[in-house]
Amino acid sequence: MNTTSSTSRRLPLAAGALLAACCLGVTGCQIDVAGQTLPSPYHLEDDVQFYAPGPEFKLAREAAALEEMNAENISEPQR
């Protein structure tokens, strides 16, 4: 068995394994599962997106208009 041929076969394999390990370390592990983004190794350095809270009841103006319309339609008791 020739030692130079076995060494020359191991070198590309080792280089490929090292390259794959480097690529995995650089790209991170952020993935999307069921619409939920799971963090990457850099999640502490990422920009935070802030959305201001809105009203809990989204139809507040419509409800106020309906109450006003119902108040107008209530008849006064007869005397």
Q: For 13-48, what is each residue's pLDDT tens digit?
A: 888 888 877 776 666 666 777 888 777 767 777 777
Q: Report yes or no: 27 and 40 within 8 Å, Cβ to Cβ.
A: no
Report the 10 Å Cβ neighbour count for 40.
14
Identify the residue with better confidence: 53 or 71: 71
Q: Are 28 and 41 in contact (CB under 8 A)?
A: yes
Q: What is the pTM for the complete model shown?
A: 0.32
C-alpha distances in angstroms, 14 versus 6, 17, 32?
A: 12, 5, 31
Give mean pLDDT, residues 71-79: 78
Residue 30 contacts residue 39 (beta carbons within 8 Å): yes
Q: Is 26 left (phi over 0), alpha (psi -120 to 50) or beta?
A: alpha
